[in-house]
Structure 1
Amino acid sequence: MNVLFATSEAVPLAKSGGLGDVAGALPKALNERGADTRVVLPKYAEIPSAYLEHFETIHTFSFRFGWRHQYCGLLRGEIEGVIFYLIDNEQYFNRGGLYGYDDDPERFVFFNFAIAECLPHFGFVPDVIHCHDWQTALLPFLLKTRYAYDPLCRSVKTVFTIHNLRYQGVFGQKLLQDLVGMDDFWFWTSGLEFYGAANCMKAGLQYADKLTTVSETYAQEIQTEYWGERLDGVIRWRAADLHGILNGIDTDSFDPMNDPAVHTPYRGSISRKRKNKLVLQREFGLPESESIPVIGVVTRLVDQKGIDLIDRVLGELLDEGIQLIFLGAGEYRYEEMLRGAAAWKPEQLAVRLGYNEGLARRIYAGSDMFLMPSLFEPCGLSQLIALRYRTVPIVRETGGLRDTVQSYDEYTKTGNGFTFANYNAHDMLHTVRRAVQLYRDDEEAWKTIIANGAKEDYSWSRSAKSYMSLYGELLPLRKETERWPVTS
């Protein structure tokens, strides 16, 4: 089975969030199950030169999309046992960062066209192209419309994964028409119209053969009006083709016994883990004490992550005698709130704005608890990493958090963390208080919670098995009549 991952980021080459982790780790797990999985992404300027040395140019050409005539280079290289392809165009990708430019619509429409144009030149014929998020959502649409005449493109099946439904690639109607080269009639009958604008993710939802999202609960949530981000009608229409498959983590990389970022290697020893706690407190300039509960937060500082709940009861949280450690960046209002709080309570609250991978790992290793009060969370990788580092998660019951963290039950001795259901600051506060009290008063119960979490399989193996099964469902369909989206 040949699978091509089409993605805007993938570790270790380029990453801005969880998508990069998924697109870098899942192909390895699929290959271990017998697939030939390869990855294609843009050739960004920020890809480290040490990795670029592994690549060679295998094809160069020019092609038209809309009225534009653009150069495209195709590079091939092998990194950590996975074959990667890079789409080269310096006008679009030779710049700092991955996203956030005014011409992002043009950059990623080009990327979608380039993948289709490069299919004959990969030296590899995919059975399935697995597309991820809005940046590659147009590809299933292009393969079934613009490239439907090409036998190679017509034979490929597509899977589209929603990593976060909030980010859809919504642009002006005329802009997308100009980029794709479609008149008004084609635009309206294609199903890409979205409340007077154009929606890239809607293209993937309608034209891909199968849809997935990154947890079972999130797959159910996005079919509702409240969480469906105005695409719930389309998702309900495709519900029979929608599968929730939980993400995993790279357990070889995230291993506190072998993590070079961790001061004292450990596995199940609380005493060794607490040595990392002292190191973490020292690094952040906090009073060093094994008895003080340390709660870590590694997150984007945006409203999705529940930062406003923390803001609402921050004083009451700190009255519990805890230490809070934040690592992240995002909205200015949240950054300023945390700066002010750290200046107000420097002995209890420490903040590092930005992101540092090694520091994040030390927070996972050194914290006693890990807080994720998310408004919504398609899957979440942080709670899985926390569990792997024997750090007890405190989460709101939504999306993948609900699927991976079960609240501790004192009577049955089951559960691997602490949870609350309502998006309410005091519900979160009461849950934190319960966790802190148990941490202080019942070490045996705390050890039981950690042991329960250690029993779980956080690897990509389980997810890869589900994806292989899904891909297998598509292969017999190759000779069947293509299913086209319903439009009105």
Structure 2
Amino acid sequence: MLKVLFAAAEAVPFVKTGGLGDVIGTLPRELKKQGVDVRVILPKHGVIPEKYKRQMVLKQTLEVAVSWRKQYCGIEELEYEGITCYFVDNQYYFGSRPAAYGHHDEAECYTYFCRAVLECLPVLGFQPDILHCHDWHTALIPVFLQAQYRLNPFYQQMKTLFTIHNLRYQGRFAKEIVPDILGLDWEYFNNGSIEYHDSVNFMKGGLLFADLISTVSRSYAEEIQYPFFGEGLDGLLRHRRKQLIGIINGIDYNEYDPAADAVLHTHYDANSPELKQKNKRSLQEKLGLPRVDIPVIGIVSRLVGPKGFDLVANILFELLGSEDIQLVVLGTGEGKYEELFRHAAWRYPDRVSANIFFDDALAHQIYAGADLFLMPSLFEPCGIGQLIAMRYGALPVVRETGGLKDTVQSFNRITGQGTGFTFDNYNAHDMLFTIRRAIRYYYDKENWLKIVRNAMAKDFSWHASAQAYLDVYQKLVNHEL
């Protein structure tokens, strides 16, 4: 049986700050269904809910070297929905902190975590074929494996897959950590393996030393080889393009199921999309939006620039002043965008609902109640909002970038194919034109229902993506890549 260890900083339901947590919490379950012995290892963050901590069982203790330091490491185990999850316990690095990220000593914390992952395997008696590392927090695992562990027979056959979830966050730190924290020879800095503009770059090390690199969509894998999207690492990614692949993320179809979602007013599916209107009326009543005969545009997002909100800011009042629509916003982020939507709600109280917080139940209700879902990102490695929206029959309006380009097909009246509405250029009025096109189709009920059915019929569950990962694992183990 193929054995795979997922190493990551977060996973639902234990701790989540973004899409990474969703992937680590759901993809292993589908891989297990396909016959993989897959396990997950995470830091034991202090923010993990107590109900999960109480279920953890201490399996092993050991010392982990962080350069000259010898640090305690407890490995605790919890089986969750059939997946064995290991938690690296160290009160100083993880247990006493009020958040998973944002601390001054993250270089030391995640250096410790990467070493702990490698050091704990022999004492746990688990010898994975593949170490599947996710984002910069685990990028040193391939580096340490190649630099310091490869001669040990226990590790000689292990392969590494490094997945980029967002290239913007790379783990960059002062070069002084090379001897003092990493415990590496200066050679690895001086030859450029982990050096980036006279600093240490964890992500760069992972990209260089991993056997294979993946990203979370095919288009993003292509885009990051160019300077605009490459975040300074495009040259390295072009160098390794033959070892770079893109596999689209999926979503948990049990969690996101309009036919069974407990927080919805009315259940529906692809065979009964007309029932979605009852959820729309319920959402409008809840948020104080009086009219039911006009399209509702939903936004569920972090309110930050890379998500395209500078485009929205440029045309929002032109849109509200010229089109009979309602807008429902849910999320938090940069103050200027929070204030933008608050002002719009004050100016148009019967047409804009600004919910500047996050509430998971309300998010589900917006997906179920909105007619359109706006996601005009500057860049988007994969994105799950558009996948959830299509599952719930809210038609996406997206920019053609990364995972948005791979998952949303613009509607073609002649062929009858398409699942939403797209625009290419990062331009506010291109977006406005596309929104207006979508609004026109809203009143063309025959074609509108066709697009909704098309969107809801798409399968973005983890099944196909897990099969793609399984194929990659097999090729790595068989030395075919």
Class of the TM-score when normalised by the shorter of the 2 chains: over 0.9
Name which of 85, 102, 105 aligns with 1:103: 105
Q: Does 1:13 align with 2:23?
A: no
**Root-mean-square deviation (Å):** 1.5
Q: Which runs of 5+ in 1 are unaligned?
A: 481-488
Distance (whole Å) between structure 2 residues aligned to residue 109 and residue 354 of structure 1: 33
Q: Output aligned runs, 1:33-72, within 5 Å.
A: 33-72=34-73
Give the one of 396, 410, 414 matched to 2:413: 410
2:3–2:36: 8 Å Cα contact kept in structure 1?
Answer: yes
Count of aligned pairs between the two proteins: 477
Task: Report the Cα distance in structure 1 between the residues aligned to 2:179 and 2:289, rounded to whole angstroms.
Answer: 56
* Correspondence list, 1:95-244, <5 A: 95-189=97-191, 191-244=193-246
CA distance in 2, matches of 1:176, 1:96: 28
2:284 pairs with one of 264, 269, 281? 281
- How many Å apart are 1:190 and its aligned residue? 5.8
For residue 270 of structure 1, report the CA deviation from its aligned partner: 3.5
Q: Does 1:352 align with 2:355?
A: yes
Pair 1:190–1:118, CA change in 2 (3 A): farther
**Kept after mapping to 2: 8 A contact 1:54/1:79:** no
Matched letter for residue 114 of structure 2: N
Is the Cα–Cα contact under 8 Å of residues 177 and 187 in structure 1 kept in the other structure?
Answer: no
For 1:264, the equivalent position in structure 2 comes to 266
Displacement of 1:355 after TM fit? 1.9
Please state whether the residue corresponding to 2:173 is helix, strand or coil.
strand
- 1:459 corresponds in structure 2 to 461
SS of match in other structure, 1:158: strand
Aligned-pair distance for 1:399?
A: 0.5
Q: Is the 8 A contact 2:329 2:355 kept in 1?
A: yes
Cα distance in 1 for residues equivalent to 2:61 and 2:335:
43
- Shift in Å at residue 244 of structure 1? 0.7
Give the alignment's TM-score, normalised by structure 1: 0.95
Distance of 2:356 and 2:113 partners within structure 1: 32
Aligned pairs for 1:301-312 within 5 A: 301-312=303-314
Q: Report if the CA contact (8 A) 1:206-1:234 is conserved.
A: yes
Match status 1:328 vs 2:312: no
**Alpha-carbon distance in structure 2 between the residues aligned to 1:393 and 1:452:** 12
Give SS of 1:165's match.
coil
Shift of 1:255: 0.3
Deviations 1:14-44 (A, max 9, x none): 1110001111111011111100111000111
CA contact (8 A) 1:388 1:454 kept: yes
Q: Which amino acid aligns with 1:409?
A: N
Q: Which moved more, 1:14-23 or 1:258-267?
A: 258-267
Q: Distance in 1 between matches of 2:158 and 2:354?
A: 48
* CA-CA distance at 1:176 after TM superposition: 4.2
Identity across matched positions, percent: 49
Name the SS for the 1:233 alignment partner.
Answer: helix
SS in 2 for 1:22: helix
Tell me the distance in 2 between the aligned counterparts of 1:99 and 1:284.
Answer: 33
DSSP-derived class of the 2:11 partner: coil
Distance 1:175 1:63 in 2: 17
> 2-side partners of 1:444 and 1:51: how far apart?
49
Match of 2:387 among 376, 384, 396: 384
Which residue is equivalent to 2:4?
A: 3
Aligned partner of 1:399 in structure 2 is: 402
Which position in structure 2 is the counterpart of 1:300? 302
CA distance in 2, matches of 1:261, 1:423: 35
In structure 2, give the amino acid aligned to 1:214: V
Asked whether the equivalents of residues 219 and 406 of structure 2 are also in contact (C-alpha less than 8 Å), the reply is yes
CA distance in 2, matches of 1:170, 1:153: 27
- Any stretches of 5+ residues in structure 2 without a counterpart? none
3-state SS, counterpart of residue 69 of structure 1 = strand
TM-superposed CA distance for 1:457, in Å, is 1.3
